[in-house]
Structure 1
Amino acid sequence: MPVSGGLLTQIAIGTVALYTLVTAASRAIGRLLALAEYYDVDEVLVGMTVLALGTSLPELSSHLVASLGILSGVLEYQVTSAVVIGGNTGSSTVQQLLLVGVLLIGYGTVHVSRRFVYESYLPMLGAIGATMLVAWDGTISRLDGVLLLGLYLIYVGAIITRRESTQSLREAPSKNPRRDTVVATGLLVLVLLSASLLLSVVEVVVDTLAIGGSMVGVVTIGVAAALPELTAVMDAIRRRSPHVALGTLVGSNIVNPLVGIGLGGALSTYSVPSSVVLWDLPFKLIAGVGLLGWALYWREGEFTRTEGGYMLGLYFAFLAGRLVLFPGQ
């Protein structure tokens, strides 16, 4: 199919919007961390809000803008639902498999404690399972969305009451809190505006090329939205602090489905593509359970470069299977 100049223009605009979305989100996180350090905010609260929610800001902003667009009639229900849910599961899969694999290959052996398994890894698997259950009928209703958000609040409450401290990638304290507050607010507004523009462009591209909205979400929002976590992985390898990055990646895999899909579902409801409930979520759940069992009972709690290689292979198997089994989605 020949590509028209108008379509190329739309793709160029979408690329700029995607870059702006990710860059503004990353810089907003830095400003918010500096403010948290200045005001001496408790590290647990920082980890569960600025880090956990902040690194998922591209996905969360996409869901918020998508739902508002659906409610106002500006964005088409089926296409927009497919794009943001595909982007959500795509980003989560990048984090769960690709980025954890990069972390292990770059750093080496990482020992995973039973406490980490119980407090973070099992809740991640539970979040994936809960999302799959509520999405199984092909829709995320408002009740489903509220349920997912409620599960996240329960998880946060349990972590805050049980954990005494948490590691975080902290910034230097803010030297000008008033300025940083204004800049952070402006960056967050820019995130929302760029997400709105991106979704409008994606809708045009999907309609023009007649391709699957959820696959577009997987390879655009899904990959780009994981860039803040990639930065955390590279920084953790450099600082020799792999558990910080591992906690961020697992935490984002809890936030993405519970808060992202939950928030969007509670606002506007979603139509869920069959590829998500028949491939994306089951693949993530089975891979997560299998790797956990392998590491705990075969490696005695150690993830090595070997497991890192397996994770990279699983990610590309995920993409290949999706393309082959669900080419139109």
Structure 2
Amino acid sequence: MEFYSTPVIAIIGIAAIVVLVISANISVKKLVGIAAYYNLSSTFMGMTVFSLATSIPEITSHLTASAHILNGTLDYQIGSAIVLGSNIGSDVVQQTLIMGLVVLLSGTLYFRRYFLWKSMIPMIGTTVMCIVMGLDGSYSRLDGAILFGTFIVYTYYLYIDERKHYKKEDNEIVSEEIAENVPQNGKEVLIDAAIALLMLGVTVVDAGYVLKITELIVVRTGIGGSLIGVVTLGIASAMPEFITAMAGVRHKENGVSLGTLVGSNITNPLVAIGGGALLSTYAVPNPLIEWDLPWETVTGIILWAILWFSKGKLKKGHAFYLMGLYFIYIILRAMFFSVDY
């Protein structure tokens, strides 16, 4: 790989990212079908199973990077910058660009008031946690344990809330795309689970290639690993969420769309960063603390405020505003925070 020219390596990297997204999408469909088989409400599915499944690229990238860091085949500083940038970039993409695209293509997206408190406030809170923990320039194993532990506690809270407040009609499967992937019996559940695990394995292996290729590009170009992670891997990693969210919109399952986009922004930092930090710890580049995470926090607050004052409705005008926030974020990131330091 080291003997190829940079353009050839970039092309191979793009192909590897495509494989990463495809394999992740297949595993997502199977996992979603299994979840529907057990009659979980669309909102609960979005916040837990969907968000966890669509976060497979981020989670596997972190676990793969941590493994390579531990065995010495991936530079600690560069590897940390790439996966952290990818993770945080994916979150920013989802709550600005992808949220805007989903609203633009659907016309209007409705949020319930309880969703703003029980889902979006925790989303903003996890970002603030990452800022505070990263102020010392690293995510320690203790930080990882706190993040991962928070995910377990929050998931348990959602489960209790599901049993207390959701109605039977929330369990109806109205999406044809989801229904087509729902197993009919225990045997099909096992087959789909095996396929999901196989695709997850492909994702893990491919994530290793993507990380290695990105590391080579960083070394050759001098561009910050976190910037590449934010711009390229961040967008690629957010594709499963976009596909799942649009499937929900097409079949009027707002719970799936909103739960996936917001839930993934909770899962990414708590499970991916938390799990990776538990394994290898991470070095946190300054641009992530000085720009990416604060921007993610501010855009999350802005999104919450828009929804609160618009009584839970996102319209096309809001869509252009959200997408504009993303492009401002990327332009300023490239201009003032292109190099990790």
86-95 or 169-178, which moves further after superposition? 169-178
Counterpart CA distance in 2 for 1:239 and 1:148 is 34
Q: CA deviation at 1:301?
A: 3.1
Q: Which amino acid letter does the alignment assign opposite residue 323 of structure 1?
A: A
Q: What is the alpha-carbon distance in structure 2 between the residues aligned to residue 260 and residue 212 of structure 1?
A: 21
Write the distance in 2 (CA, Å) between the matches of 1:153 and 1:87: 23
Contact 1:152 1:259 in 2 (8 A): yes
TM superposition shift of 1:235: 1.9
Give, as a single letter, the amino acid of the residue that structure 2 aligns with 1:262. Answer: G
Q: Distance in 2 between matches of 1:209 and 1:233?
A: 35
Q: Secondary structure at the match of 2:5?
A: helix
Q: Give the CA RMSD over aligned residues.
A: 2.0
Give the secondary-structure state (helix, strand or coil) at the position aligned to 1:163.
helix
String of CA shifts for 1:40-64, please: whole Å, max 9, x gaps.
3645875454312100000000000
CA distance in 1: counterparts of 2:111 and 2:40, whole angstroms: 25
Deviation at 1:243, TM superposition (A): 3.7
Give the TM-score taking structure 2 as reference length: 0.89
2:51, 2:259 within 8 Å by CA — same for their partners in 1?
no
In structure 2, the residue matched to 1:321 is: 332
Structure 2 equivalent of residue 303 of structure 1: 314
1:224 to 2:236 alignment: yes
2:298 pairs with 1:268? no
Q: CA-to-partner distance for each residue in 1:131-150, whole Å, 9 max, x for gaps?
A: 11111221101111111111
Q: Residue 183 of structure 1 corresponds to which residue in structure 2?
A: 195
Q: Which ranges in structure 1 are unaligned for 5 or more consecutive residues?
A: none
Matches of 2:221 and 2:140, distance apart in 1: 29
Q: Where do residues 95-106 of structure 1 align in structure 2 (5 Å cutoff)?
A: 95-106=94-105
CA deviation map 1:173-211 (0-9, x unaligned): 336444433322211110100001111111111111111
2:80 is aligned with 1:81: yes
* Alignment of structure 1 residues 123-142 onto 2, 5 Å: 123-142=122-141
- Contact map agreement 2:95 2:299 (CA 8 A) in 1: no
Cα distance between partner residues in 2 of 1:190 and 1:300: 43
> Which aligned pairs between 1:167-206 and structure 2 lie closer than 5 A?
170-172=178-180, 173-174=182-183, 176-206=188-218
Match of 2:250 in 1: 238
SS at the partner of 2:74? coil
- With 47-56 and 184-193 compared, the bigger mean Cα shift is at 47-56
- The one-letter amino acid of 2:314's match is F
Whether the 8 Å contact between 2:47 and 2:262 is mirrored in structure 1 is no
Q: How many Å separate the matches in 1 of 2:142 and 2:131?
A: 15
Aligned-partner residue type, residue 81 of structure 1: S
Does structure 2 retain, via aligned residues, the 8 Å contact 1:107–1:240? no
Q: What whole-Å deviation, never above 9, does each CA across 1:197-253 have from its counterpart, x for those lacking one?
A: 111111111111111100111122101011111112322332233342122100000
Deviates more, 1:69-78 or 1:4-13: 4-13
Task: State percent identity of aligned pairs.
Answer: 36
Q: Cα–Cα, structure 1 residues 48 and 97, in superposed 2: closer, same or farther, change >3 Å? A: closer
Of the structure 1 ranges 74-83 and 242-251, higher mean CA displacement relative to structure 2 is found in 242-251
Give 1:116's aligned residue: 115
